[in-house]
């Protein structure tokens, strides 16, 4: 790291060179041939952008030019800012075109490329984000990186590094070698060969360590910027339930309530933004991502199963209304995101323009009960954003608010509905944020699961239909006969092979779809996908999974993604799925691998529990009883529905109306003219039950 710091310092202090101010004629670059909305946004830049492909990478080698690898995504506000300031500037473009091969990457289409260069920037600077801008040698090894730069900063960087490479290339090559070695070392996961043991005591210590960072007032973690972390909260929800930890239960309740009250939640059209810039979940960066909303629906659905809070149900329903209205295609696929920026009344792009109101606007619109509206949505100092701009935020339950104002909750509900109707009409007159209409398999799989979890909690048949429509689309369009998946879909085209993230989330979604429908094709497809993933993504040295296929063109380092971030890591999802499939199929190899993967991660999990929540979920399967619930007989579907009414995080469900020999867990359990519920643990079953509540009692003992 000393060499990295020293070289970066050297790069930063090189004297600036003057730049040629001659203008170039703007024309479409090669990105005009791409399908990614993010790449197409840059197709008219004067920068001679190219896509990431073999031809472009070979060109850099042939011309011995440094590569600029600029990574972002369509909904990213600061990506737009840097484009406007630098990439649309002719003088900056001239420097870039004369001295570099310029590559634009959509991080959502090519997370493999993003993973590598994000890791490089994190090693160089200690942080990362988007836009991500890396400068690399002609062979792709990075020598400089960062996130957003002003035009002046970017120009200085371009000139300095270009000068360095021309005059003393050996310095850049030496630095690149050291950094690449660091990248490769950072990916190593060691195969642990001692005995695997997981205990309740360890789990409790990990959560106790985690609790030190709880924000007890606004929920989430103590921070001035708040990111929703759905898989973290799902684990804590389960932990509070199974370990009967009142402190954790209270924290999750606070977190879910404050997020749903906050401005990060769209109180008019539903749905959540990416993150908030303050600790009270108020002012977001306004982009709305499919993966956030999918996972938050799952989270609120499980919380609603657990305690039936009306706020959770409303949040689920309004969020899915948003997904259906704004992010769903006619063919049942789900689009990726809505932009943070949109045009304001001056016809200029502005972050949040679609979402904020001035006080005067609201007074003119809400002509009846304005004082009540103002108090409910905090059109005051608490709800003020900036410059007389307000983003709606709540700080009271409907019951407490109704009591305060001496009205009934029913009357309040009618008023809220009227307010939302008025404001929705006004929204429709505004220019909508741009839509990123590409379809990503992994994010669609997360949304399938979101719809399924909502169906379990609320029993809205439309939710199940939406999940099935999307799942069948993926089967028919994304899954190939040889088992390969496509990552993306747009305008009838699939152009990128899937990553382990796509397989992991799809396997998980299909297992859930089987439990909801008891249609065996989803379970057998899950197993086939898992076997394909084992054949094509497994690292045989440590039993973990690479992010990209063993058949993919190799990058400068191979990512083995294990940390659970906003989306859980593909390795933790696959390990959880291996655990479940091992129970369905009595598969000893699956059992062994799931346990080995968890064992490999054991120390990492205990040292940094906040970054490995989905691994903690798997660990709980080993430290607390986990049950296979088999329902066999004519009433299997009805009993399954009754079970799904309850929050029971430590079961899998298998069922059949008839004799079934294809799923080992069902063998020998059919009795003519009877329906029995078998509660089993690792294949050993308790006395069969006929009543759902009796079976639940066996699980909860």
b or e along 663-693 (b: 16 or more beta carbons within 10 Å of the residue's beta carbon)? bebbeebbeeeebbbbbbeeeebeebbeebe
503 within some domain: yes
Residue-wise pLDDT tens digits, 40-74: 999 999 999 999 999 999 999 999 999 999 999 99
193 within some domain: no
pLDDT surpasses 70 at 281: yes
Residue-wise pLDDT tens digits, 483-532: 899 999 999 999 999 999 999 999 999 999 999 999 999 999 999 999 99
Q: Identify the pLDDT of residue 162.
A: 94
Let me know whether 152 and 208 are in one domain.
no
* 680 phi, psi to nearest 5 deg: -125, 155
346 within some domain: no
Residue 648: Cβ within 10 Å count: 19
Let me know whether 552 and 696 are in one domain.
no
Which H or E element spans position 654?
Answer: strand 651-656
CA nearest 104: which of 145, 144, 76, 67? 67
Let me know whether 413 and 276 are in one domain.
no
Long-range CB pairs of 457-462 (<8 Å, 24+ gap) are 457/301, 457/302, 457/304, 457/305, 457/313, 457/316, 458/301, 458/304, 458/313, 458/316, 458/317, 459/641, 460/317
Local confidence band at 187 (pLDDT 50, 70, 90 cut-offs): low
pLDDT surpasses 90 at 584: yes
83 touches 42 (CB < 8 A): yes
Q: Taking each helix axis from N to C terminus, what angle separates 692-700 and 636-644, rounded to the nearest 10 degrees?
A: 50
Q: What token pair was written down for 59?
A: 């060109």
Domain endpoint, select from 590, 623, 656: 623
Residue-wise pLDDT tens digits, 359-412: 999 999 999 899 999 999 999 999 999 999 999 999 999 999 999 999 999 999
| CA distance linking residue 595 with residue 88, whole number of Å | 52
> What percentage of the chain reaches a pLDDT higher than 90?
87
Let me know whether 683 and 619 are in one domain.
no
How far from the centroid of its chain's Cα atoms is residue 243's Cα?
Answer: 27
Let me know whether 610 and 658 are in one domain.
no
Domain endpoint, select from 162, 186, 210: 186
Place of tokens 């080995």: 596
Q: Identify the pLDDT of residue 3.
A: 34
Residue-wise pLDDT tens digits, 456-489: 999 999 999 999 999 999 999 999 988 899 999 9
Let me know whether 306 and 453 are in one domain.
yes
| CA distance linking residue 369 with residue 181, whole number of Å | 65
Domain endpoint, select from 380, 407, 429: 429
DSSP string, 518-580: --HHHHHHHHHHHHHHHHHHEETTTTEE-SS-TTSPP-SS-------SSS--HHHHHHHHHHH
Let me know whether 313 and 447 are in one domain.
yes
328 within some domain: yes
Residue 53 belongs to a domain with what CATH number? Answer: 3.40.30.10
pLDDT surpasses 70 at 5: no
337 touches 74 (CB < 8 A): yes
| Residues present in the chain in total | 701
Q: What token pair was written down for 562?
A: 């294990």
| CA distance linking residue 437 with residue 12, whole number of Å | 39
Residue-wise pLDDT tens digits, 76-108: 999 999 999 999 999 999 999 999 999 999 999
Structural domain including 375 reads: 355-429
Let me know whether 570 and 493 are in one domain.
yes
CA nearest 281: which of 323, 219, 353? 219
Question: Which residues neighbour 295 within 8 Å (Cβ) at sequence distance 6 or greater?
Answer: 230, 231, 446, 450, 566, 567
CA nearest 75: which of 38, 128, 113? 38
Is 424 in a helix, a strand, or coil? helix
Let me know whether 513 and 631 are in one domain.
no
How far from the centroid of its chain's Cα atoms is residue 690's Cα?
Answer: 40
| CA distance linking residue 478 with residue 570, whole number of Å | 18
533 within some domain: yes
Q: How far is CA 154 from CA 97, 129, 218, in A?
A: 14, 16, 38
Q: Identify the pLDDT of residue 280.
A: 97
670 touches 659 (CB < 8 A): yes
450 within some domain: yes
Residue-wise pLDDT tens digits, 588-626: 999 999 999 999 999 999 999 999 999 999 999 999 999
CA nearest 96: which of 36, 29, 169? 29
194 within some domain: no
pLDDT surpasses 60 at 21: no
Q: Identify the pLDDT of residue 556.
A: 86
Let me know whether 291 and 392 are in one domain.
no
Local confidence band at 111 (pLDDT 50, 70, 90 cut-offs): very high
Local confidence band at 447 (pLDDT 50, 70, 90 cut-offs): very high
Let me know whether 613 and 631 are in one domain.
no
Q: How many domains does the chain divide into?
A: 4
- Degrees, nearest 5: CA angle 109-113-119: 125
Residue 538 belongs to a domain with what CATH number? Answer: 1.50.10.10
Q: Identify the pLDDT of residue 392.
A: 98
Is 322 in a helix, a strand, or coil? helix
Let me know whether 23 and 157 are in one domain.
yes
b or e along 434-456 (b: 16 or more beta carbons within 10 Å of the residue's beta carbon)? bbbbbbbbbbbbbbbbbbbbbbb
Find the radius of gyration of the CA atoms of the chain.
Answer: 27
347 within some domain: no
Q: Identify the pLDDT of residue 185.
A: 78
């Amino acid at each position: 790291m000393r060499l990295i710091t020293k070289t970066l310092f050297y790069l930063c202090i090189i004297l600036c060179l003057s730049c040629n101010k001659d203008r170039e004629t703007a024309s479409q670059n090669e990105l005009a041939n791409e399908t990614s909305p993010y790449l197409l946004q840059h197709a008219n830049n004067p920068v001679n952008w190219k896509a990431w492909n073999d031809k472009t990478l070979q060109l850099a080698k042939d011309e011995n030019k440094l590569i600029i690898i600029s990574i972002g995504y369509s909904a990213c506000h600061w990506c737009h800012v840097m484009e406007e300031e630098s990439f649309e500037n002719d003088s900056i473009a001239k420097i870039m075109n004369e001295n570099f091969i310029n590559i634009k990457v959509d991080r959502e289409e090519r997370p493999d490329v993003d993973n590598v260069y994000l890791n490089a920037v994190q090693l160089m600077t200690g942080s990362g984000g988007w836009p991500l801008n890396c400068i690399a040698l002609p062979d792709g090894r990075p020598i400089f990186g960062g996130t957003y730069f002003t035009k002046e900063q970017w120009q200085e960087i371009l000139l300095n590094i270009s000068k360095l490479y021309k005059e003393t290339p050996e310095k850049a090559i030496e630095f690149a070698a050291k950094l690449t070695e660091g990248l490769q070392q950072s990916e190593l996961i060691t195969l642990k060969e001692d005995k695997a043991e997981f205990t309740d005591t360890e789990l409790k210590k990990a959560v106790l360590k985690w609790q030190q960072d709880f924000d007890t007032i606004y929920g989430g973690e103590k921070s001035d910027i708040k990111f929703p972390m759905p898989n973290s909260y799902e684990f804590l929800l389960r932990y509070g339930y199974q370990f009967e930890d009142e402190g954790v239960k209270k924290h999750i309740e606070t977190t879910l309530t404050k997020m749903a009250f906050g401005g990060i939640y769209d109180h008019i059209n539903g749905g959540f933004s990416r993150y908030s810039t303050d600790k009270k979940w108020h002012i977001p960066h306004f982009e709305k991502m499919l993966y956030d909303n999918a996972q938050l629906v799952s989270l609120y659905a499980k919380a609603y199963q657990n305690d039936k809070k009306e706020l959770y149900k409303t949040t689920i329903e309004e969020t899915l209304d948003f997904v259906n209205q704004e992010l769903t295609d006619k063919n049942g696929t789900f689009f990726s995101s809505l932009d943070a920026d949109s045009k304001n009344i001056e016809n200029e792009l502005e972050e949040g323009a679609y979402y904020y109101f001035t006080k005067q606007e609201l007074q003119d619109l809400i002509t009846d009960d304005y004082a009540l509206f103002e108090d409910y949505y905090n059109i005051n100092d608490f709800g003020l954003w900036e410059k007389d701009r307000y983003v709606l935020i709540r700080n009271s339950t409907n019951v407490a608010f109704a009591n305060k104002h001496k009205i009934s909750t029913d009357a309040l509900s009618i008023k809220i509905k009227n307010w939302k109707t008025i404001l929705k009409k006004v929204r429709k007159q505004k220019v909508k944020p741009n839509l990123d209409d590409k379809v990503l398999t992994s994010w669609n799989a997360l949304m399938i699961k979101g719809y399924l979890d909502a169906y379990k909690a609320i029993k809205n048949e439309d939710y199940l239909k939406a999940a099935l429509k999307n799942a069948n689309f993926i089967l028919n369009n994304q899954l190939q006969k040889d088992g390969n998946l496509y990552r993306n879909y747009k305008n009838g085209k699939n152009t990128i092979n899937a990553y382990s993230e796509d397989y992991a989330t799809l396997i998980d979604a299909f297992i859930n779809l089987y439990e909801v429908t008891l249609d065996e094709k989803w379970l057998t497809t899950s197993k086939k996908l898992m076997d394909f993933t084992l054949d094509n993504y497994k690292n045989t040295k440590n039993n973990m999974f690479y992010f990209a296929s063993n058949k993919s063109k190799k990058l400068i380092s191979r990512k083995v993604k294990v940390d659970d971030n906003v989306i859980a890591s593909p390795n933790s999802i696959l390990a959880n799925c291996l655990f479940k499939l091992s129970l369905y199929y009595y598969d000893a190899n699956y059992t062994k691998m799931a346990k080995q993967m968890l064992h490999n991660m054991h120390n990492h999990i205990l040292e940094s529990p906040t970054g490995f929540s989905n691994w903690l979920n798997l660990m709980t399967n080993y430290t607390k009883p986990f049950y296979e619930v088999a329902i066999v007989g004519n009433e299997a579907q009805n009993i399954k529905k009754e079970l799904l009414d309850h929050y029971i995080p430590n079961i899998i469900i298998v069922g059949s109306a008839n004799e079934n020999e294809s799923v080992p867990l069902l063998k020998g359990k059919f009795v003519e003219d009877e329906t029995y519920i078998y509660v089993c643990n690792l294949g050993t079953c308790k006395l069969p039950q006929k009543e759902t509540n009796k079976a639940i009692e066996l699980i909860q003992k």
